[in-house]
A and B are shown apart, each in its own frame.
Chain A
């Protein structure tokens, strides 16, 4: 039997242990544990959520709209107080039965921490839209970054001085600085 109905849930656990629960839909929703999930709309990034769930994306841009005005204000206050960055974000899927009632507990599909929270105001002739985007990273995001480390003579000597102070300094990388200027010639055989 194909799944006819499910819910996409987002749970924020802020550094001061306050928990905010949102679901992608209208109106409030109560799960089998009795937790209340507020209706919000995930405006962007659902495709990325899918990737995140499949473990393909390490960073996730999550746009949330429809937050309560005091919620959004709170988010801003907490951002100022440093209570947003480092918060835990979990994306969950809740299976629903034929009558749209939750079955079992929601399954966690993605866990990450909030890295940044840019807010944007877009004014159009239809009105002004204030949106919050969360930049969420998880432990795999570091693997995406290019390592800036280089092997240098100075580092190597410093390291050996730390590890084994009484021994002469490690000269393993002594010739490394010179190598950058070295022209490499391929041998000619003819």
Chain B
């Protein structure tokens, strides 16, 4: 279990028109009475549910794309397979006129030297850190804003567990903020850990066994969608293993 097997969705080769991911909270109620009274109680923060919508097959690329699709499908083999999906979240970070370009930059080492073959680190421009350790199950975390317009109402991920933040509860110092998050922390995030904010990733499973069905029509290109559900059971297993 420790060496978790998953595959990354190749978002460059198989780009989706939209990647909606939405929270599914657990709420229980006794229903609405004739008098209009309905009392709702939340029994859990919930989990993510989403999809890759309108995956674009292009004429020039379709052969590579089709082969990649088959490879992914063979790897996943139904709902048991684990998939990591990048969820573009630059909309949540953009703040014109200053924060508009989120194209990743290239960075050298600390002493300004590149790698042996003259390549550099490829990295997003935003930078948000976890200020203090976020224990398993935490629903309020302390974030350190280093280079980003805000830490409120954004998404971040750490080791493929995706979260989104609410309105700030409290500002601590100049650049540290306590914010509530959805969902509860799936796996402990150590202090000073860098968080992925402009393209957070989420570990999921297919929503049903036949989500990867595809049909190539005679004249057009297919535009399939894939339904996904967060693989929450994996986090339970990992937590149990660590305990």
Give chain A's interface residues, CB within 8 Å of chain B: 2-8, 23-30, 36, 38-39, 46, 66, 68, 96, 99-101, 126-127
Contacts and interface: CB of A to CB of B under 8 A. Distances in A.
B43 A7 contact: yes
Contacts of A6: 41-43
A96 B233 CA distance: 22
Given A4-B42, A8-B43, A26 B183 contact: yes
Contacts of B239: 28, 36, 38
B140 interface: yes
23 contacts: A2-B39, A3-B41, A6-B41, A6-B43, A8-B43, A24-B26, A24-B43, A24-B44, A25-B46, A26-B45, A27-B47, A27-B183, A28-B137, A28-B235, A30-B135, A36-B240, A38-B236, A38-B239, A39-B232, A66-B233, A99-B139, A99-B180, A126-B209
Contacts of A29: 44, 137, 184
Given A30-B137, A38-B239, A127-B79, A25 B43 contact: yes
Contacts of B46: 25-26
Contact of A28 (B136, B139, B140): B136
A126 B180 CA distance: 36
A99 B140 contact: yes
Given A27-B236, A29-B184, A126 B44 contact: no
A26 B43 contact: no
A127 B208 contact: yes
Contacts of B186: 27-28
Contact of A26 (B135, B208, B230, B237): B230
Interface SS of chain B: helix, strand, loop or mixed?
A: mixed
A164 to B, nearest CB: 59
Nearest to B235: A27
A7 B41 CA distance: 9
A179 to B, nearest CB: 52
Interface string B175-212: 00000100110100000000000000000000011000
A7 B44 contact: yes
A122 to B, nearest CB: 15
A101 B45 contact: no
Interface residues of B, number: 33
Contacts of A8: 43
Contacts of A100: 42, 45, 139, 184
A39 B137 CA distance: 11
Contacts of B47: 26-27
B240 A26 contact: no
B243 to A, nearest CB: 5
Contacts of A126: 208-209
Contacts of A66: 233
A28 B236 contact: yes
Contacts of A27: 47, 137, 183-184, 186, 232, 235-236
Contacts of A38: 236, 239-240
B29 to A, nearest CB: 12
A46 B41 CA distance: 14
Contacts of B243: 36
Contacts of A46: 28
Contacts of A68: 233, 236-237, 240
A130 to B, nearest CB: 13
Given A2-B39, A26-B183, 7 more contacts: A27-B47, A28-B186, A28-B239, A29-B44, A30-B135, A68-B236, A68-B240
